[in-house]
Amino acid sequence: VIDKAMVANMLIMPSETYLAELADIADVDAIHQARHAVCLAIAKKLKGVMLSIYKLNQDSAAYQPTADAIAKRSLKNVALSYLMLPDDTEMVGLCVQQFEGADNMTDTGSAIRALINSGADTALVAKEKALTEFYNRWSDESLVIDQWFGMQAACSLPGTLEKVKGLMQHEAFTMNNPNRMRSIVSIFPMQNIVNFHDKGGSGYAFLADCVIELNGINQQMAARVLTPLTRWRKFDAIRQDLMKAELERILGTENLSGNVFEIASKSI
């Protein structure tokens, strides 16, 4: 008997964050490109297999929180993530169908994540429509809306930082709610390293701006979200200089809290 949960886990590539941790000096661009290339090769080579896995693990029965059902959903959704990876994928309709017909958050979340991270032209309209529908459906559920923000902040496609800045102007976003704040301000630097570590330094400036703003709202949270900037030694010389410059800018902030000052000053 095949352990579908184990197979699903085996098919999931290590995250870019994990791979960066393995390196003495993390080349975030190379890590992103290499990981994407491997995943894309698998997706193209095994397209037929992945589609078969997806279809064989569809379940017409009502949602069941059993181990077998959970394993089937896991395997099906890993297959979907691969099917949605090529920019010329024909599977956008399949993904939309899953999103619209899902009776559980696992299938709903997997479908919308696949749409968010798809570079396919046919996914552009579909992802915006799905995001709107998801928000309207779950707007009264705070934890679900935290996920809605976080899924978008974690998108590795180019231009995500501008999307993130736009999300921070959304009516449901506030820096005063720690969970809502973390759904963007923590998720973006921790789970989206290719965009956070953009060579121009825009990701670092964004986080420093957030730390400075939080210093006047919640000093403990400001100190906590600062951590990614303190790890500048992990990266190349250009990024090191950019990260240290933002730390210096934070240290120059008036009325800086003791916690933020201690963490920032000791890291340089």
d(CA 12, CA 47): 15
The pTM of this model reads 0.92
Q: Which of 165, 262, 255 is nearest to 212 (CA)?
A: 255
> Cα dist. 184→85, 145, 207, 244, 255 in Å?
24, 11, 10, 22, 25
The residue with tokens 């963490």 is 263
Residue 64's pLDDT is: 86
Q: Is 169 exposed, middle or buried (0-12, 13-18, 19+ CB in 10 A)?
A: exposed
Residue 63's pLDDT is: 85
Q: Which two tokens stand for residue 123?
A: 């996914």
DSSP string for 159-184: THHHHHHHHTTSTT--TTSHHHHHHH
Contacts of residue 90, Cβ cutoff 8 Å, sequence gap at least 6: none
Residue 62's pLDDT is: 81
Consecutive 10-residue runs of the chain (268 residues): their mean pLDDT?
A: 92 96 96 97 97 93 88 97 95 96 94 96 95 96 97 96 97 97 97 97 98 95 96 97 98 94 95
Mutual orientation of helices 28-45 and 47-56 as an angle, nearest 10°? 70
Q: Which two tokens stand for residue 2?
A: 């095949």
